[in-house]
Amino acid sequence: MRTEIITSLAQVDAAAWDALTGDNNPFIEHAFLSLMETSGSVGAEAGWEPHHVLVWEGDQLVGAAPAYLKDNSYGEYIFDWSWADAAHRLGIPYFPKLVIAAPFTPATGPRLLVHPNANKEDVWHTLLNRLKTLVGELGAWSFHILFCTDEEADFIEREGYIRRATYQFHWRNNQYTSFDDFLGALRSRNRKQIRKERKKACGAGLEIELLYGDEATDEDWEMMYKLYMSTAARKWGQPYLTHDFFRQARTSLGARPLLLFARRDGEVRAGTLSFAKGKHVYGRYWGCFEYCDGLHFELCYYRLIEYAIERGGLLVEAGAQGQHKIKRGYLPVVTHSGHHFEVEELGHALNHIMQREASFMRKDIEEAQKDGPFREDSIPPFPARAGICLDTHT
């Protein structure tokens, strides 16, 4: 096997890259990552400098990792500002660092991409070794593989790298036939709360429209950009996605995006941008021009659950954080990242911190489960410890 470093997705054939990406995650597809680059959402000026790793066997692409050199931690959602502070106290540089991720996207999916006909562990081993040497070549101090799969995290840990566990709230389809069927699995108080919220949102004179990305007009995408800015500029100060991302999305991303608009008297008052591929749905961005009680929950959570049930979807991920999601059917699930630090002293110190984090996280998940919305006889088969035994990290 030989490796190659490219600084743009334009340097690799889209079909060859997409043959590595699997069935359910749109954020590591060539179209999405390429749009990040061509729109200027990532790049040297944006603080995400591409250095993607390719693995070849003869003339066939058998592996890849979307990698970016960074001098900050914005847009990652695996929060490591305290690590940078710890490094500073130890007199150890923390930036730049190499991040293997789908930019600005806290959604679990493959990060060490492998062709289905290749030897998975051989390709993973090659990718990890090349990432480690690339850190040195770029003058970086670490690499960070964010929101990788359970299986990848297991392998990363076996290879001697540091594994970190965090958690999110996901909705799982337990063979529901309708939204009412899902509600029937909930405790009475939670079922009543959701019905009340939906009634408020849908009874406010609003019409809700769903559009796929390629059937939305340029005007629809321009409206989605304005909605994005209504939240992004306020929440982050500096929005991550550029205007060009929205201008190019209709022709670049096909039917992967899902645009939901809430209109009153024909005027858009709120909306969300989500994505779907295979059996998975991902809620990403929300924006509004006026407050309407319950509308955020309707567009960000309940409509995505309905969409998944109607189309046989298995999973809805509604973004990072959000303890309030539990009462609406989203249960805690462990997410993973893998880390390597050039300075062993820093790696040992941070590994100890991560072990303590896992212990606290176990308690958080146990508390969240006690507050779960499902009846005892209707809890979906939903592992809280997705691929990691937290009891070993106390």
Q: Which of 9-13, 201-205, 245-249 has the lowest mean pLDDT?
A: 201-205
H helical segments located in 253-387: 295-297, 303-310, 344-370
Quickly tell me which residue has 């309707």 as its tokens. 298
Identify the CA nearest to 393 among candidates 163, 195, 190, 232.
163
Asked if 2-167+333-392 and 174-313 have one fold, the answer is yes
Whether residue 126 is predicted with pLDDT greater than 90 in this model: the reply is yes
- pLDDT per position as a tens digit, 13-71: 999 999 999 999 999 999 999 999 999 999 999 999 999 999 999 999 999 999 999 99
CA dist., res. 347 & res. 340, Å (int): 7
Given 1.10.274.50, 3.40.630.30, 2.60.120.10, 2.60.40.10, which CATH number is that of 174-313?
A: 3.40.630.30
Per the CB < 8 A criterion, the answer to whether 154 and 161 are in contact is no
- pLDDT per position as a tens digit, 349-369: 999 999 898 888 888 888 877
Per-residue pLDDT band at 389 (split at 50, 70, 90):
very low
Q: How is domain 2-167+333-392 classified at the CATH fold level? A: Aminopeptidase (3.40.630)
Per-residue pLDDT band at 125 (split at 50, 70, 90):
very high
Per-residue pLDDT band at 252 (split at 50, 70, 90):
very high
pTM: 0.95
Whether residue 192 is predicted with pLDDT greater than 50 in this model: the reply is yes
- pLDDT per position as a tens digit, 82-111: 999 999 999 999 999 999 999 999 999 999
Check residue 392 and give its pLDDT: 33
Percent of the chain whose predicted confidence (pLDDT) is above 70:
96
Domain ranges of the chain: 2-167+333-392, 174-313
For the residues of 15-69, what is the DSSP string, one character each? HHHHTTS-SS-GGGSHHHHHHHHHTTSSBTTTTBEE-EEEEEETTEEEEEE-EEE
Per the CB < 8 A criterion, the answer to whether 354 and 164 are in contact is yes
Per-residue pLDDT band at 313 (split at 50, 70, 90):
very high
Kindly state the tokens that stand for 174: 């337990």
Kindly state the tokens that stand for 9: 């997705």
